[in-house]
Copies of this chain bind each other. A is one copy, B any other.
């Protein structure tokens, strides 16, 4: 008796379809569809009856079928590195704006074991109508064929391919701001811990070299990466006895790694050596880090990126766009005047 009254096994119960509703209401499934989508036509009476039945049956429209029938999914996709706080900021903002604009957002995780390509494939499988790529590292050609037919907005990295929009900040300006700031403080031996072999990393590395040269100084580059761990490893190979007084790290996470090593090695920052980051992420803002860094206006980037995607989808733009925002320097306590020898 008891067992008979229990609801059917979870996960076993067939979910009600539009056909069930139609049968129950004694109308055609086409009409039910019209009603559920709020189309004009059906009478008020029928509408009320059908909606009541739908509600009673706990009907949820099957998005899969719906997607197949319409051509739209109203779904946007974004690749994210979960551990990256700057990505987190961008995602929060993009999510907010996508909500406003009536789009859904799905995230594809890029992790050490799950690369960008896999993340993009998952998102495409979701039938995302447009993709946002955060700090994409795949070759442009590969991206082009992977995402064929889908508008892409690359955030942070410039991609010159038809169908790709770009939202980024001027890396050369950002790096110049940092280098100029350090030079003004008297630093002459400034080392760059780069971000590995990504495109953004290459841009910043190049911008660093230009800025350093402009001051008549000589560049010095240490291979690094995007994570705290990379920063630690790079800093361990750094020999301060050579006269280096400042480190410009690829991003905040990397800079935090550099700080971490210096802390353990009892090397005072900023008295003995100055350190800078990039992104002005939450990490940099913490008083314990207090990192001089560059702000990339994530909200503005998010807004432009979503707008660009939607213009392609709902508007009729086919021309590629590239937005280049001006980054700005945020001076904190991780940089100081060069120590007197």
**A residues 64-95 in Cβ contact with B at 8 Å:** 64-65, 67-68, 73, 80, 82-83, 85, 87-89, 91-92, 95
> Which B residue sits closest to A100, measured CB to CB?
B113
Q: Are B63 and A125 in contact (CB under 8 A)?
A: yes
Q: Are B151 and A11 in contact (CB under 8 A)?
A: yes
Whether a CB of chain B sits under 8 angstroms from the CB of A56 is no
Q: Are A65 and B63 in contact (CB under 8 A)?
A: no
Alpha-carbon distance between A12 and B256 when the two chains are bound, in angstroms: 45
> Which B residue sits closest to A283, measured CB to CB?
B283
Contact of A122 among B13, B96, B105, B318 (CB under 8 A): B105
> Which B residue sits closest to A67, measured CB to CB?
B64
Per-position binary interface string of chain A over residues 1-45, scored 1 when its CB falls under 8 Å from any chain B CB and 0 otherwise? 000000001111101000000000000000000000000000000
Q: Could you tell me the distance in whole angstroms from the C-beta of A307 to the nearest C-beta in chain B? A: 16
Whether a CB of chain B sits under 8 angstroms from the CB of A222 is no
Contact A106 to B122, CB < 8 A, known contacts A10-B162, A256-B286, A260-B288: yes
Chain B residues whose CB sits within 8 angstroms of the CB of A125 once the complex forms? 63, 104
> Which B residue sits closest to A74, measured CB to CB?
B125
Q: Are A150 and B11 in contact (CB under 8 A)?
A: yes
Q: Could you tell me the distance in whole angstroms from the C-beta of A226 to the nearest C-beta in chain B? A: 13
Whether a CB of chain B sits under 8 angstroms from the CB of A192 is no
Q: Could you tell me the distance in whole angstroms from the C-beta of A242 to the nearest C-beta in chain B? A: 24
Alpha-carbon distance between A109 and B134 when the two chains are bound, in angstroms: 15
Contact A107 to B104, CB < 8 A, known contacts A83-B92, A150-B11, A256-B286: no
Contact of A260 among B11, B287, B318 (CB under 8 A): B287
Alpha-carbon distance between A91 and B91 when the two chains are bound, in angstroms: 16
Q: Could you tell me the distance in whole angstroms from the C-beta of A60 to the nearest C-beta in chain B? A: 7
Contact of A88 among B9, B60, B82 (CB under 8 A): B82
Interface hub of A88, A105, A228 (most chain B Cβ within 10 A): A88
Alpha-carbon distance between A56 and B160 when the two chains are bound, in angstroms: 25
Chain B residues whose CB sits within 8 angstroms of the CB of A149 once the complex forms? 10-13, 15
Alpha-carbon distance between A13 and B289 when the two chains are bound, in angstroms: 50
Can you add 18 more A-B contacts, CB < 8 Å, to A10-B162, A83-B85, A228-B282? A9-B318, A10-B148, A10-B163, A12-B149, A13-B149, A15-B149, A60-B124, A63-B127, A82-B91, A83-B88, A83-B92, A83-B282, A92-B112, A99-B118, A104-B122, A106-B126, A264-B287, A288-B289
